[in-house]
Amino acid sequence: MASDRVAVPSRTESPGWVEVVLRVLGTGLLGLWWSRPSAMRYRRRRRSECAGCAHRYHRVMRVLIVLVWLQMVGIVALLAYGARPPTCQPPSLSSYNGATRYVTPTHDWVIPVRQVITAGNSGLALAYGKALGGQFCDYVPNGTLLGRMKDGFARGGTTYGHTYLTSLEPQLVYSDMAPVMRHESRHTDQWALFTLLGGPVAFPLAYGVDDVFAPGPYNNFERDAGLADGGYVLPDTPSPTTTRLIVAGALFAIFFFERHRVRRQVRLAKLLVHRLRIAEPPWWYAHTEPVTPGPAIGVVRRVSPAVADAMTEHRRLQQLGCPDCGAIGY
């Protein structure tokens, strides 16, 4: 019995080990899970049977190549600019004990491990800071690359990997600097953990999503790093997280249950845009009846005839059927 599967023309694919390397470097331990032999065999079989699966595979590979390439650029920048940075010096007003602690390194195995894990993102931030004229030094108590800049960072400062970008002033003594750097060191731990689990973009994505629903001092990553150490004012108002989650859930539900109508309107809009680009009558004129403009379109025509014509075309497009809940019948 002949097989009813449709053969999909195969592109030249990378060897299996290349895919494993890209997935691990691009998505961390999650990529290692995706690189299980059974999972790779399943995806290879799907690509041979499904053209869409093959296209998605190549898109994913291109994204992973870009991610890994950026990490390599960051590592090169880190080796070029931050391999042997000068040690951050304490301000002149520091006490003897404060100045000593300012330049005394901490012997903790966690510091070099997280520096290796976050090397790519740290190097990209270092190159970015150098491009903006930043001055960098090594804050040896926690192994953070401290970059002082005029601007180009968020809030009082921003940590990328183990690179901390902040302002030129003020120069803080150790007793004032220690809480801030302790806060940023915890952010470095978060960068390292998420990079190890999900790749170099895992932490910024997680932080961004969390900040949408829990902004500022309500952000769970900031709370984990210590609000007081980071200079945040402790909030005394209810968190907006619940309200935002309810709104997001309602929008998702509307989109999910009305996705067929949304898809149909998007297709109609694409047809309308295509209609405006061509001179000859479109194909749907043979399947629809002319539309008599209503009063609203007449009012719009006085202001913009082009918009009125587009509204008329859209009303005519509405006559097309929707036999499979969203697809336009031809």
pLDDT tens digits, one per residue of 70-114: 999 999 999 998 888 899 988 888 888 988 998 998 888 999 999
Neighbouring CB atoms inside 10 A of 316's CB total: 19
Q: Compute the distance between CA of residue 60 and CA of residue 32 in angstroms, rounded to an integer.
A: 15
AA letter at 146:
L
pLDDT tens digits, one per residue of 145-192: 999 998 888 888 899 999 999 987 767 888 888 999 999 999 999 999
Q: Compute the distance between CA of residue 215 and CA of residue 206 in angstroms, rounded to an integer.
A: 13
Handedness of CA 58, 62, 63, 69 (dihedral sign): positive
pLDDT tens digits, one per residue of 205-255: 999 999 999 998 999 999 999 999 988 887 788 888 888 889 999 988 888
Q: Compute the distance between CA of residue 10 and CA of residue 46 in angstroms, rounded to an integer.
A: 12
Residue ranges in the chain assigned as alpha helix (H): 16-34, 37-49, 51-81, 96-102, 110-117, 119-131, 174-198, 202-213, 220-225, 241-257, 259-277, 295-303, 305-317
Q: Do 157 and 177 form a contact (C-beta atoms < 8 A)?
A: no
Question: Model's pTM, two decimal places?
Answer: 0.76
